[in-house]
Amino acid sequence: MTLDDPPPDDLSASVFRHQPIPPPSEPMQYRAIGLVRGKYVSSDEQFTRGTLITMEGTQLNAVLLGRVMSLVKNHLQLDREYLWVVYPRVTQGRLDQSLHVQIVGVWEPEILNRMEIGADPATSPSVVDSIPEPSDGYFSIRGEVVFVVPETENVIVKIQQSPRKKGEPEKAFKLKLQGNLPPRALGYFWDLEVQRQGHTLLIQHATSIAIVPPRKRVNRPKGDSGVPSKPRVNFRPVRRTVSTAVAPPRREAIPKPIKRNQSGEDSPSQNPL
């Protein structure tokens, strides 16, 4: 199975699920989701991109996704701290590989109750009153372990994403975690409970689920790779017959004899006319 789909447009969906991070729907369901309490500060250039300043002062690059933009603009006070529901990401291909987050929701029971369709706060009890307070910094990471370095306690987990549109190929991203896993963890699907400390995601509890089966290779027809194929040119070797016969040596012409007359002068051998 692939990563959880983005949250639906109905922002009160979190209320009906009764918790910000629900249990996985299947044993091998990929996902990477967590909670960060802090204050969102938008950039001067774009409201949907900014910084999430955590309670301890860590600054995380952040981006708002989906309908959460309307929630932030119309129902939240940006000078306050909230418990945000986020997708963790690590910048790929860079040396720093700092943690950044994609904000997909906020866990604020009072606000979510007011937004629930048909709910009257004065007469209806809160559906989240009996739920324990979610933990700041908790992350649920579920995916395939593809890299383990016991000496430095570095673990890299690969998370598959489902295609957003029909016909698109599946995508994947990787997260760098800190912690101890057995050397034979490679190639297995793991359910990891992680705690954020600054820009680091520390493994608190790990459960091996099953070995990840090899992915099937898609055989594409010739010329369907997306790149125009170059016409093939068949070069046939030209056979050249090399003669091994040795040419006979060149003979010089034999000079004709010259007759001498009585005076001793040379004269041609032919008779005069």
pLDDT digits (tens, 9 = 90+) for 140-195: 999 999 999 888 999 999 999 887 777 778 889 999 999 999 878 999 999 999 99
Q: What is the pLDDT of residue 75?
A: 87
Tokens of 63: 């981006």
| DSSP state letters, 66-112 | TTHHHHHHHH--TTS-EEEEEEEEE-TT-SS--EEEEEEEE--HHHH
Q: Is 147:156 a contact under the CB 8 Å cutoff?
A: yes
pLDDT value of residue 260: 59
Whether this model's pTM surpasses 0.75: no
Return the pLDDT at 54: 96
pLDDT of 232 reads 53
What's the pLDDT at 81? 94
Question: What does the block give as tokens for 185?
Answer: 């963890």
**Residue-level pLDDT at 16:** 34
Query: What does the pLDDT read at residue 169?
Result: 80
Q: Which residues of the chain have pLDDT under 70?
A: 1-18, 92-97, 111-133, 216-273
